[in-house]
Amino acid sequence: EVQLVESGGGVVQPGGSLRLSCAGSGFPFGIYWMTWVRQAPGKGLEWVANIKKDGGEKYYVDSVGGRFTISRDNAQKLVFLEMNGLRAEDTAVYFCGRGRGYDATNYYPGMDVWGQGTTVTVSS
């Protein structure tokens, strides 16, 4: 079964840090871009960050640039989101998702698998 499972959420004070993890299984993790998106309470979905299959390219939404870092460990089939300088407005459910995939000969549309989410609450 193709699956993504997030962990690492919790309650943190403003200015604090958290590291979210996302474990992939059931698919060739290392050929896919990976994505983090979030949803604040009562709000819509917001793209947060992307990382290329080899980790060589990373992109962030403006509001988290310089504070959040996306990384991956393909051997362990994990993608991470290191969050520093957390603010109240970062409070949200964070989802990881599978992006597009590429291997030597094929393209895989992806964009189809998301984890169940992990909740981050930034509050004093």
Partner 1 sequence: SYELTQSPSVSVSPGQTARITCSGDALSNKYAYWYRQQKSGQAPVLVIYEDSKRPSGIPERFSGSNSETLAALTISGAQVEDEGDYYCYSTDYTGNYWVFGGGTKLTVL
| Amino acid at residue number 123 | S
| Cα–Cα dist 67/18, whole Å | 11
Q: Which of 37, 70, 81, 120 binds partner 1 (CB under 8 A)?
A: 37
Q: What distances in angstroms separate CA 114 from CA 13, 53, 110, 122, one per listed residue?
A: 27, 17, 10, 23
Interface pick for partner 1 out of 56, 104, 109, 124 (rule CB under 8 A): 109
Q: Which of 57, 76, 85, 123 binds partner 1 (CB under 8 A)?
A: 57
Nearer to partner 1, 7 or 47 (CB): 47
Cα–Cα dist 62/3, whole Å: 29
- When binding is defined by CB under 8 A, the residue of 16, 59, 67, 91 that contacts partner 1 is 59
The interface with partner 1 within residues 66-95 (CB under 8 A) comprises 93, 95
What are the start-end ranges of the E strands in 26-112? 32-39, 45-51, 58-60, 68-73, 78-83, 92-102, 107-108
Of 55, 102, 114, 121, the residue at the interface with partner 1 (CB under 8 A) is 114
Residues that bind partner 1 (CB under 8 A): 35, 37, 39, 41-42, 44-47, 50, 57, 59, 61-62, 93, 95, 109, 111-112, 114-117
